[in-house]
Structure 1
Amino acid sequence: MSNTTRPEAKRIHQIIKLKPEHYEAYKECHAKVWPEVLQRIKSSHIEDYSISYDPSTNILFASFKYTGTNFEEDMEAIRQDARTREWWKMTDGYQQSLNLRAVSSEMGGVNGTPAWWKELEEVFYVA
């Protein structure tokens, strides 16, 4: 019997505003996410990732589970990934951050810059 146990997943929920004129482009690019971006997400211990859209408010809602042991290190690995940064440059143009003074996905959290996506508090969960 192994002593290794999987860490308890950290559930993350975030929102951002989608510029309505970019709805089709945003949906299209997410139908064909670049394989390198998907691999980086998986390598950084992100699972069960989804993005939903509310057309009445133009809000995108993202939810995922983080199953690794060093969240900051894994998020930095994503930030340093060249292909992911290219992806963000494209998708950030479709979005409007709800965090004041946010600059971009790439700069989110760097030197006190707010995250591009606004993180939400989970108030209820049942498995």
Structure 2
Amino acid sequence: MLIGDASGADAEAQGLLAGYRYEHVGVFHAGKEPRNNLGDWAAYHVPSPDDATGYWVHAAKDREMARRADFGMMVWDGASPGTAVNVLRLAMANKPCVIYDWPGAAWRPRTMWKTGAPCSAMPVPTFAAKPKPT
């Protein structure tokens, strides 16, 4: 399983995997060390450009995770540009992706199988600044 190192959904998922003593996990990170690696798994450093800020700090890492993945599972708040771009990366590569809406009264999974699917199933986020294509 490939997973990021962020606090929040990544750390929660890591906690569950570590609790079940799941061994087949790789933690991807952009910084020198993972921010979270709760199972002491293999860590994969994907550096960002020196001048990267905001979304761009993690863009290369996210792109590499999408490239290596067979499918995706995302927890999305409806606003994060990084998650939205990753869903589109997977869809464009014809890789399925399950998106769990958060926050909400219930976790509602949505499965993406084709490039056009995100357009019909995902709400349109409003970004403070549009991410640049990668």
TM-score by length of 1: 0.29
Q: Which has the higher contact order (CA 8 A, sep 6+)?
A: 1
Q: Which has the higher helix share?
A: 1
Q: Indicate the structure (1 or 2) with the bigger Cα radius of gyration.
A: 1
